[in-house]
Copies of this chain bind each other. A is one copy, B any other.
């Protein structure tokens, strides 16, 4: 196979995989936004199963490896897009062939059975229903570590699936810092007894809906290159960089829920829309990692939009729409969107305590993978850790160990990305303010207060978004911030913000 033939082969594979994947994305969008008839699920499942199976089958053909090996031998002649495509394709291919196909099939069947059981187990708050499934799932994950291979800790092998470059050494350091600084801060805040005025009442959904275009525009989400849907559980999904869709769920009794979830999803969408258009044909038009994607959504949602500067532009909009805010001032709004309190449910957690929820899951996953604990011990250990780090104890497994879908779906090693991403965001924002990454320093508060985030988004586009998967998170951080991953910025940011809000 010549170099040219190998590139042609990869590109034509990419075209097929993209079409097959986009079709699956559309099935998901369709189901989430408009629902599907109950009775159509079986055939629909068969269609989606065929599309994903075909995508995998095509990827796993031996000519994929042959093309990769051919191009690896021509490495110095490749441009950066080709090189990254070879790197990513080769990495994914080699991981996939490392797993015995019959084991992979059995595992897919297992998780397909486990998810509906998890739904019921959570409803009934009955961990024993999930116990045999979790045992088999974690047993497979431990074997997966061996098939994938690892240098230091077996859990490193799993982390790679979600956060390339992350490992136990790095995460131990990160979480140690959170344990030392953030867990005590949360407890101090509880002790202080300070409680900001909350945003309560009923807020007309039509009026909430009218705010959305402004929020999307503020973040820089280009609505002409996507669309906004309404769903039960909000998400962002990409059909192409020119068709990036976000979704929202409105709650009459919770105005801030749709508002901040829209900002969050719009943050994801801006990343997707700002990627270099050349990435698409190389299948590199995705986030550098799960964590890097999450960093963008959370820095828009939290660092920028839960700031006092944003409260300043948000308040007049809220006043215009809702009488409720008649007597509110900017400081009150800033405080109300930053209520910090220990809670049991991760997805409802505030900015300060969120990563502590992740820490619980990280410690348990790591110990399960290294064999230090057994699946049967999970409920007790989970509750102990919540008590230790958050100061509250779940009273049942539905609000404890059964709350997340991830494990029943076979996703182990995924949770840390959420916390790492948040920390990436602080490190990037810090560099942006300081004028690293080829800019004169962006005054984010000034931009937010002026209602024009374009300098922020321009910096992120230039330093993060445009690269897609061309660069690893580590390369992105080093080039943009001048250093490797440093969670210190995140801890400092949280400490300063919440100390000022609660303890001064």
Contacts and interface: CB of A to CB of B under 8 A. Distances in A.
A37 B280 contact: no
Interface string A238-273: 011011000000000000000000000000000000
B54 A242 contact: no
A270 to B, nearest CB: 15
| Residue from A22, A35, A226 whose CB has the most chain B CB atoms within 10 Å | A22
A40 B225 contact: yes
B240 A38 contact: no
A39 interface: yes
A366 to B, nearest CB: 40
Given A26-B30, A29-B30, A44 B227 contact: no
Given A16-B54, A50-B19, A51-B19, A227 B34 contact: yes
A484 interface: no
A43 interface: yes
B47 A19 contact: yes
Given A26-B26, A26-B30, A242-B43, A226 B37 contact: yes
A242 B50 CA distance: 18
Contacts of A54: 16, 19
Contact of A37 (B22, B37, B51, B243): B243
A73 interface: no
A36 interface: yes
Interface string A42-62: 011011101100100000000
Query: On chain A, which size bracket covers the interface?
Result: 35 or more
A227 B15 contact: no
Nearest to A48: B19
Interface string A7-34: 0000000011011101100110110011
A50 B225 CA distance: 22
Contacts of A227: 34-35, 37
A224 interface: yes
Contacts of A16: 50, 54
A487 B46 CA distance: 43
B35 A47 contact: no
A229 B33 CA distance: 12
A34 B30 CA distance: 11
The binding surface of chain A is classed by DSSP as helix
Contact of A240 (B29, B33, B43, B229): B43
Contacts of A280: 43
A504 to B, nearest CB: 47
Interface in A50-82: 50-51, 54
27 contacts: A15-B46, A15-B50, A16-B50, A18-B50, A19-B51, A19-B54, A23-B47, A26-B26, A26-B27, A29-B30, A30-B30, A34-B227, A35-B227, A37-B227, A37-B242, A37-B243, A39-B224, A40-B225, A40-B239, A40-B240, A40-B243, A43-B240, A43-B242, A43-B243, A43-B280, A44-B239, A44-B240
Contacts of A226: 37
Contacts of A26: 23, 26-27, 30
Q: 9 nearest interchain CB pairs? A: A40-B243, A23-B23, A19-B50, A40-B242, A39-B242, A19-B47, A43-B240, A37-B225, A22-B47
Contacts of A51: 19-20, 23
A35 B34 CA distance: 14
Contacts of A50: 15-16, 18-19
A225 B40 CA distance: 7
A43 B27 CA distance: 18
Contacts of A239: 40, 44
A282 B15 CA distance: 29
Interface string A299-336: 00000000000000000000000000000000000000
A51 to B, nearest CB: 5
A361 to B, nearest CB: 35
Contacts of A34: 33, 227, 229
A224 B23 contact: no
A16 B47 CA distance: 8
Contacts of A242: 37, 39-40, 43
A401 to B, nearest CB: 36
Contacts of A229: 34
